[in-house]
Amino acid sequence: ANMLCKVRQMRSCASILNQTVSWKVGSRQKHTLPDLTYDYGALEPHICAEIMQLHHSKHHATYVNNLNVTEEKYQEALAKGDVTAQVTLQPALKFNGGGHINHTIFWTNLSPNGGGEPQGELMEAIKRDFGSFQKMQEKLSAATVAVQGSGWGWLGYDKESGRLRVAACANQDPLQGTTGLIPLLGIDVWEHAYYLQYKNVRPDYVKAIWNVVNWENVSERLQIAKK
């Protein structure tokens, strides 16, 4: 009788544990669209309100929704031990996960009080690694304008060498996940980021975006990246 009691206890304990585990998986936090700290029209005349509104509330929101759907499917595949399904889901994870990561950085990289030049350690690092602020600007602009099709230009931090680097990524490939560089400043050159205002003239959009770069945010990112 004592043994039976122990088995029952163990079963009830296992069932509680099971419930806890499934509750934890079920309540896994969904990704959410981050709020902007400025109005959609605040970056005008450099980026118009209509672009900002569509870009944030439609495009970024879609990456967030599809990331949540993909993660749910991925959890199911993991639970079933279905490696084929996991591999099949990886492109969607990269695309929507990258889209969410990239845009989340992008909004904070911009500010209605932005523009000008950075100060302090970031400026010193730019001068050391590119020669001057203007040279960095030219190099990042050129790499960004040259992205074939949709993608991003980045100023990133290479933790191994302790240096800043310019890089370009295709599609929504996230900088750190695909190159190892830590993202500091991203320029979105998907047509959804500029076409309504700049039409086919991507270089004009890239030129204008420097007027709203939030250098304080880029500096903070460098500080965190160096830790």
What is the nearest approach in angstroms of Fe ion to the Cβ of residue 174?
Answer: 13
- 71 lines the binding site for Fe ion (CB under 5 A): no
- 188 lines the binding site for Fe ion (CB under 5 A): yes
Chain centroid, CA 64 distance in Å: 11
What is the distance between the alpha carbons of residues 95 and 93, in angstroms, rounded to a whole number?
6
- Name the residue nearer to Fe ion (CB basis): 98 or 118: 98
What is the nearest approach in angstroms of Fe ion to the Cβ of residue 60?
Answer: 7
- Name the residue nearer to Fe ion (CB basis): 129 or 188: 188
What is the distance between the alpha carbons of residues 159 and 110, in angstroms, rounded to a whole number?
24
- 190 lines the binding site for Fe ion (CB under 5 A): yes
Nearest to 63 by CA among 106, 103, 26: 103
Q: Binding segment for Fe ion among 12-20, 34-42, 111-119, 190-198 (CB under 5 A)?
A: 190-198
Pull the structure tokens for residue 177.
């996940």
What is the nearest approach in angstroms of Fe ion to the Cβ of residue 133?
Answer: 26
- Name the residue nearer to Fe ion (CB basis): 118 or 156: 156
Number of chain residues interacting with Fe ion (CB under 5 A): 3
Question: Does residue 60 have a known ligand-binding role?
Answer: no
Question: Does residue 192 have a known ligand-binding role?
Answer: yes
For residue 174, cis peptide bond before it (omega within 30 degrees of 0): no
What is the nearest approach in angstroms of Fe ion to the Cβ of residue 192?
Answer: 5
CB-neighbour burial class of residue 120 (10 A; exposed 0-12, middle 13-18, buried 19+): exposed
Question: Does residue 103 have a known ligand-binding role?
Answer: yes
Question: Does residue 188 have a known ligand-binding role?
Answer: yes
- 194 lines the binding site for Fe ion (CB under 5 A): no
Nearest to 44 by CA among 209, 164, 180: 209
What is the distance between the alpha carbons of residues 28 and 74, in angstroms, rounded to a whole number?
13
Pull the structure tokens for residue 56.
């944030």
Question: Could you give the residue ranges of the DSSP H alpha helices within the chain?
Answer: 2-26, 49-54, 61-80, 83-109, 120-130, 133-145, 175-179, 195-198, 202-209, 215-226
- Name the residue nearer to Fe ion (CB basis): 98 or 114: 98
- Name the residue nearer to Fe ion (CB basis): 20 or 37: 37
Nearest to 103 by CA among 32, 2, 22: 32
What is the nearest approach in angstroms of Fe ion to the Cβ of residue 189?
Answer: 9
Q: Binding segment for Fe ion among 25-33, 122-130, 186-194, 212-220 (CB under 5 A)?
A: 186-194
- Name the residue nearer to Fe ion (CB basis): 71 or 188: 188
Residues engaged in binding Fe ion (CB under 5 A): 188, 190, 193
Known binding-site positions: 55, 103, 188, 192
Known binding-site positions for Mn(2+): 55, 103, 188, 192
